[in-house]
Chains A and B, each alone.
Chain A
């Protein structure tokens, strides 16, 4: 019994303990609040006026971040403020610094600042209207965006992020601080420009790129075409070469085929040719045989007859020739004999005549020489006499006159000779002296008859005789000597 009462007591205690534990847990759960990393607890009410964790002075509410805290239900109120990132979309028509209207679509990303000042600012403004925060921010930020847009050019809007963030900070930073918000980022998502400014901005580059592209395209096209044409040409060349080769081979094949085809007829022709050759030989032999026969039957007799005739004729001819030659020889010998005889006769006669002539000439010459010597001797004597006389006269003027006369002597003699011209024949009896005498007389008759002249004359005649004896003696001398000289010549 005691054991059972102890047991029931234990059970009761256990039950009560369990209930109490449950109650404690439930109570604890109800009073213990934990701030998660992305939120702040704003506690107001009992005992919240004392200094907060971080900020010396409080606005009468307590802010808790990152840890748990007891909240006494009923006398304390706890609210949560989200520290999450918020995103507000903005669509704004604005005008840039250059006055160009643009239609901007942007996103601003913001959050409640992590410091207690920001949390406090935000809590006082948005705690009950956290769902309306985006609308508020959109409205506030639209104005800021217009301001930002107005401080930038289109190019800067497009390209220069730094300037955009800078402008965002400058325009909206302070304003957002008032709201306890921090702008993490401002992103412009779209820029529409009705005036086509951006397109025009892009045009030069686009056109340049297009130009480059077209140039490249053209280059590539040209190169491709060149290569194509080259390859086509090569292809054609290859085709040509191949065709040529094919044709060559085909020709070979055709030739071979033709040869093969002609082999039969050729062999036949060859055989026939041999047959013909043999036949020809037979025909030749036959012809030869016939020729032989003819030789025997016709030619040989004819030859014999001809030979006979020829021999007879030749004999006759030889005989005739021999006879003629004999006659000719006879005549020739006769003529030679006659000629010889005549020649001998003539020679004998000539010799006789010459000898006679020579004998006469010798006689005449001897006579002439003898006469000459006689004259010479006489004249020499006369000359000596005249010289003696001349020497005797040498001392007077007459010698000069004589000299002059002597120089004129040929004319004088000529004149004297004229006296004889009419005389056909004159017979001189006493030779050269006679002549001198006659001349002297004539001169004496015709001229002054100077003794001096005579002596001079004789002197000159002597001199003349020495030099030109025939001339001085004139016709007479010539006549006498004539026969001898004739014989000599």
Chain B
């Protein structure tokens, strides 16, 4: 059975601005659906606006990812 559980490497879309001292949000396609994850920027002081494409570089279970701009 092919379970699409892997998060790292996925490309997603920012739905809540990622900025320093803020919790951003990204929407990722996973497990046949889409789920929202709390997101932080990989580089410090980086701000990623809503609608930008990002790639997940780290996954902190259960619902947190670190992303960088794709």
Contact = CB atoms under 8 A, between A and B. Distances in A.
Interface of A: 53-54, 67, 113-118, 121, 162, 165-166, 169-170, 173-174, 177, 180, 182, 184
Interface of B: 1, 3, 5, 16-17, 22-25, 30-31, 33, 35-36, 38, 61-64
A162 B16 contact: yes
A282 B19 CA distance: 139
B22 A170 contact: yes
Given A114-B31, A169-B25, A121 B62 contact: yes
Given A169-B23, A170-B23, A118 B1 contact: no
B56 to A, nearest CB: 13
B62 A180 contact: yes
Contact of A118 (B16, B22, B62): B62
Q: 7 closest pairs, A vs B, by CB?
A: A117-B62, A117-B61, A118-B62, A169-B23, A54-B5, A170-B23, A177-B63
B16 A166 contact: yes
Nearest to B33: A114
Given A166-B16, A173-B38, A115 B5 contact: yes
Given A177-B63, A180-B62, A53 B23 contact: no
Contacts of A180: 62
B31 A182 contact: no
A54 B31 CA distance: 11
Nearest to B36: A182
B31 to A, nearest CB: 6
Contacts of A170: 22-23
A173 to B, nearest CB: 5
Nearest to A183: B36
B16 A165 contact: yes
A53 B1 CA distance: 9
A53 B16 CA distance: 31
Nearest to B35: A114
Given A166-B22, A169-B38, A113 B63 contact: yes
Given A54-B5, A67-B1, A170-B23, A115 B16 contact: no
A184 B63 CA distance: 13
A227 B46 CA distance: 66
Contact of B62 (A166, A177, A184): A177
A117 B25 CA distance: 19
A191 B33 CA distance: 35
B38 A166 contact: no
Contacts of B31: 114-115
A160 to B, nearest CB: 12
B23 A173 contact: yes
Contacts of B16: 162, 165-166, 169
A180 B1 CA distance: 25
7 contacts: A54-B3, A67-B1, A113-B63, A114-B30, A121-B62, A162-B17, A177-B62
A287 B55 CA distance: 148
A166 B23 contact: yes
Contacts of A169: 16, 23-25, 38
Interface centre among B5, B17, B33 (most CB of A within 10 A): B5
Contacts of B3: 53-54
A69 B27 CA distance: 31
